[in-house]
Amino acid sequence: MQITLESKPFAGVETEALVSYVFEESDPVQGRVAEIDHLGGGLLRRLAKSGELTGKMLEFTLLHAPAGLKAARLLLVGAGKRAPWDSATLRKLAGAALRYLKSRSVRNFAMLVREGQATEESAQVIVEGILTADFESDKYKTDKKNDKRIASVSIAGYSDAERQKGEKGVAKGRVIADSQNFARDLINEPSNKLTPSILAQKAEAMAKAAGLSVEILDEKKIAELKMGALLSVAQGSVEPPRMIVIIYNPPSAKPGAPVIGLIGKAVTFDTGGISIKPSEGMEKMKYDMAGGATMIAVMRTLATLKPVVKVICVVPATENMPGGRAQKPGDIQTAMSGKTIEVLNTDAEGRLILADGVHYAKQLGATHLIDAATLTGAIVVALAGVNVGVFGSDQAFTDKLLSSAKAAGEKMWQMPIDEEYREFIKGTVADIQNISSGKGGGATIGAMFIKEFTGDSPWIHLDIAGTAWNDDTKPWLAKGPTGVGLRTLVHLIMSY
């Protein structure tokens, strides 16, 4: 899709649709919308008085052949209350506008920012909203009767003096959104099209194209390094595991700067193993590699944005299958760190592979650790599909991530990780066990298990089980993978 910045007066922009947004207030026809209303002879104010134009969130008002404009249509999208206003709302409005117009066979439109909002950030989030909204999950449909698509979008409302910062925002927004969609495309792949080996190949190809260092550890190298936790999950499948390592080295890193370690769970299909899952909904378990896909996509973004800190990405990739060689409940495994694990439930496998991933990231030199995983159903019970669950061992580091989440427009909520929870995974016949011996606190128990392998390094765990997949189409996003976490992690790393 072509995306450009338009600095000419909005009334003269020739497009199939001019889009702007209206706030929910006693008089929604203000500022730039009042200018449009003046050109149209007061129609918008009449619609507001009649109650047809209210500004309520995601209310659409579409007018054809609007007077005073060269645009063929005028679309006003409700933005809700003016305060508090944030860029996340603008991202959502841009995405919702694209999907609304796309469904009506519009092929190009112009997004008009409101008065005082012609900033770099506005251009960035508009582009992010547009490109992520344009992603569809219909890759494997052969009879695509719906060929509706948006070919080009322009962003209007910027003066010549504001153009440079607007174009900078457009470029940054495209890099981030393209990478988010890259992650979503990986997550959406069925497991027969994305085995651990294929995921590794795709990651390697991306890294080499982006100029990043990359190493793929095969099953022999994994065994040599004694990654027993990863191997224990992989042993039930005919598909061999892979450990994907991608490294970004900044041109001029500051002495003493942190080295960020990104670890992503990549179970390309999770049956639960011997502790097999119910058949209903199991097809969705292709998304159990969403954490790994997101971390790979973060590296893709950093290769272009070039932060000043070193970043090490480690992605353990495997299937979890109930084969004849699969591990069984009660088995004891030895992780790469030397810690022994009693496997009480083979469906608590994500924490096992992350144990080796986290330890290896530390060995490679990571000083600050962040893992992302579709780890527990318990986080869905706690936070539904609204917030990412955040667990952190270092409050300053965690606060920095939560601040980035807010800036990036991703909802995240800090969860408890008190030392008392350590008793829940204390082993009887091994050092630790992979699930709690009691009831409740499942998301925290999973986090506590991973924490066992982080040592004294500042560490954050993101449980994205409830947010990595949309079960229903939203006005601004298609049903399916979301790529959640990418914008937050990019913002965090760029903030150093």
pLDDT of residue 145: 63
CATH architecture of 2-134: 3-Layer(aba) Sandwich (3.40)
Instruction: Reply yes or no on whether 82 is catalytic.
Output: no
CATH architecture of 178-494: 3-Layer(aba) Sandwich (3.40)
- Catalytic hit among 277, 406, 411, 422: 277
Distance, CA of 456 to CA of 42 (rounded, Å): 65
Instruction: Reply yes or no on whether 351 is catalytic.
Output: yes
Question: What is the full per-residue pLDDT of the chain (496 aa) written as tens digits?
Answer: 999 999 999 999 999 999 999 999 999 999 999 999 999 999 999 999 999 999 999 999 999 999 999 999 999 999 999 988 899 999 999 999 999 999 999 999 999 999 999 999 999 999 999 999 999 998 898 886 667 899 999 999 999 999 999 999 999 999 999 999 999 999 999 999 999 999 999 999 999 999 999 999 999 999 999 999 999 999 999 999 999 999 999 988 878 889 999 999 999 999 999 999 999 999 999 999 999 999 999 999 999 999 999 999 999 999 999 999 999 999 999 999 999 999 999 999 999 999 999 999 999 999 999 999 999 999 999 999 999 999 999 999 999 999 999 999 999 999 999 999 999 999 999 999 999 988 899 999 999 999 999 999 999 999 999 999 999 999 999 999 999 999 999 999 999 9
Distance, CA of 97 to CA of 173 (rounded, Å): 17
pLDDT of residue 437: 81
pLDDT of residue 439: 85
* Contact call for residues 246 and 296 (beta carbons, < 8 A): yes
* Domain coordinates in residue numbering, the chain: 2-134, 178-494
- Catalytic hit among 202, 351, 451, 487: 351
pLDDT of residue 478: 96
pLDDT of residue 146: 67
| Residue of 323, 270, 174 whose CA lies nearest to 468 | 270
